[in-house]
Structure 1
Amino acid sequence: MIPLSVPNLKGNELKYVTEAIEDEWVSTGGSFIDRFENDMARYLNIEQAIAVQSGTAGLHLALQLAGVTNKHEVIVPTLTFIAAVNPVKYIGASPVFMDCDNSLNMNISKLREFCKTECSLTNSGLVNNKTNKVIKALVIVHVFGNMANMEELMKIANVYNLKIIEDATEALGTKYTSGKYSGKFAGTIGDFGVYSFNGNKIITTGGGGMLVAKDSSLAGRAKYLSTQAKDDSLHYTHNEVGYNYRMTNLQAALGVAQLEQLEVFIETKSNNYFYYKKLIDGIPGLSLLEFNKKTRPNYWFYSIVIDNKYSVNRDQLLEELNKRNIQTRPIWGLIHEQKPYLSEKGYQIEKANYYYKQVLNIPCSSNLTKIEINRISEHLKDINSQ
C-alpha cells in the first residue's frame, strides 16, 4: 500500500522524546514546549508562538481573542475540513459560508460582492442585512498548503473592519515570494494564525497545534487561557474560565525535531510535485491542481482534477486506485451541506459543488519515492485506457 500522507520521522525525534522521558517531563510542562515555541517564532519571523493541543483549540482561542461572541457571525469557507468551522459553533456564533475559487481557497471576488451588496457598514461593524447580526471575523483557510489571496483579503478586511483568522493548519512553510507580503508566511498576515501538527501534516507532533497573533498582548492572553487561566498557580486562583489546551512536552519534543527538517520536507515535496505534474499532464482528463505563483508553497497535498475526458469519474477512480493499493481520498464534504449546518446561510456557492465532485487527493508523503510516483502514474494511465 502506498499511503496518502504519513509522518517522516528520520531526524532527532527519538533522541528528543527520550530526553523528555528521562527528564520525567511528559505533560504540559517542560523545556521542549518553550523550545518549540521559540523555534517556531524564529522560523516564522514573529515575536511569539503559543503551543496548544490542536489546531482546533488554536482556532477556538483565536475566535475568542478576536472578540467573537454568540451575537456575531463569522464568514467561513464551505470547502474545507469541518474543524475550521466547528469552533465558530463552540462560541455560539453563526457561520456564513462562502464559495471557493479555482485554487479551492475562498472566492475573494464573491466575498467582496457579499460585503458590498448583502451587508451594511455601521458604527457597530459590518451588519448582515438579512440577519441584522454583526459579522465580526473571517476564517480563511490556505487549502492544501496553497496560499489564499491575502493581498485582496486584507484590503476587504480593512474596509469592513473584519478580524482575519488564518487557518494555516495545512500551510506551515508556505510564504509569499513577491507582492506586498513578500517574505511573509501563511498565518502571519492576518490578526491570528493557527497551525496543526496532526499525523498527516507536513510536520507532526502526533497531535497539537500552534497559535500566533499580530498583537503580542493577545498572544500572551492566549497562553493564559490555554493553561486554565491560572492567576496564581500556587494557590489555584482562576479569575476567568480557561481551557486545558496546552501542548505536552512529549509532543513538543517531536515538534522540535520535525521543525529542524521542515525545509528539507518542503524541498522533497516540491520535487515530487513537479515530477508528478510532468507525468500527469500527459494523461487526458487529468490535471494537477496549481499553486499560487506569488508564493513558495509547502506542497502539502497533491490534488488531481478529473474532467469528462477521463474514462471514469472521481468515485470510480478512487475505488480503483484503492483496489490497487494506492490510498486516495476525495475532498471534504461541503460544510454547508453537513447536518449541523443546514440552517446556516451561504452565498452563491457554485464552484465548491463542482470541485467537490472532481478532486481526488493522491499520495504526497515527504518520504514518497519516484518509483512510487511512477507506479501511481502508470496506474492512472492504465485505468484511463480500459
Structure 2
Amino acid sequence: MLNICNDIFTVFTHLIHLKFYESSYKNRIRLFFDDPPLSTFRSATLLKLNIRLQCFDDCLYLLDGRFNQLQILYVDLIHIRPPHEIKNQGDLSNLKWFSLSCYIGTHYYDETILPLLYRMSNLEQLGLYLSVFVNKTFIDGNHLKRNIINCMPRLSQFIFYFDSYMYTGNKLYLPLTEDIQHAFIDFPNNNIISYVDYFPEGQEGRCHIYSYPSLMEYYSFITNNFPGGLYNYVREVSLFDERPFEHEFFLRIQKSFPCLEELSVTNHKPQNRKPHFESNNHNRNLFAVKYSFLGEVNILNVHDDYIEQFLFDTKTCLQNTVILYIKYESLQRVTHNFTRDATRINCAQISKLYLYRESECSNSLEEYFPNAEICYRQIY
C-alpha cells in the first residue's frame, strides 16, 4: 500500500486533496510504515489529507515536514504508544484543521497527544475521539480548557469524545456525574454530554464526555446509564456493564446507532425480565430489534441470556449476513446441542463463525450453520 502512496505523489505532482481509505467501514484499510517513508513520499502542494493509519509513529511521519503545506489532516489510528525514535519536529504553523481518532484505549495521552497538539499553534478546528487511561482523575471540562483550549488562541471549533477510565480501588474521592457536568458550565460549547460509571467488581470507573451532535465512528463501553441520542456516524459499539442489559436496552441501542456495523457485548449478569420469546410471528414483529447494517457481533464474554438475545429471531432481526465470535460451549447450550428451532433462523444468517472451544465439536454443528465458514480457535 505504501508503494501506491509513493506512486500517487510521483504521478500526481500537484495533488491538493487526498482521501486514502475505503468508504466502507467494514473494509477499511490502514497504512503503516516499517521504517521512515521513502523520500518520494512527500508533497509540496498537498493541502488536505484524510487517512487511516496503524499507530502514532505513522502519524508523526506525516508531520515531519514531508507535507509542509498541509492545512487539514484527518487521522484514524488503531493504537497510540510512545514513538520509538521519532521526535516532535517543531511548529506546524500551516495546520488549520486537525482530527485524531483511535478506538483502542491509550495509557500515553500525556506523552503523545498533548505534545503533538502543542505544535499546532494556529489550529482553528480540532476533533479528538479518544479512550484514555488516567491515574488520578477523569478528563473533564477543566482539563480541556487548561491543557488544550487555552493553549490554542485561534481555536474556534472543538469537537471531541473522551472515554477516560481509571482504577478506583484506593481512591478516596470519586467524582460523580454532577461534578463532571459542573466543569462544563462555562465551556465554549455548551452542548456537552457527560456521565460517569463505576464498576465495584472490577474496581474501575469510566467517564464519557463528548460534544453533541457527534461525528465519531466509535462509541465504547456503553452501559445502562447511556443517555441516548442519535449517532449517525457511529459504526462500532461496545457494551459493558456489571448490571444486566434488558431487551429494551438493545432497542435503545438500535435506535441511537442506526448505522451500526460492529457490536461487542460484555456482560455476565443474567437478564431480569425475560418474557416468553420462543418463535412466533407476533413476537417477531412486535419486539425484535432490527439491525439494518450489523455485520459483526462479538458475544464471547456474556451470560447465555445475551446469546439468546442475538440468536432468537423473535428478539433480534439480522437483516444482513453476520460474522459471529462466540464460545462453543455457550453456543451448544443455547442451541440445545444444535437442535433448537428458536435459534435456527438467525444461525442461518451467520456467514462466518469464529468458535472458541475447549472440547470437540458436535457433528451437527455444520448442518445447523448451513451458510457459515467455521473457524476454530482454542481457549487459552
TM-score class, shorter-chain normalisation, is under 0.3
Q: What TM-score do the two structures reach when normalised by structure 1?
A: 0.27
Q: Which has the higher strand share?
A: 2
Q: Which has the higher helix share?
A: 1
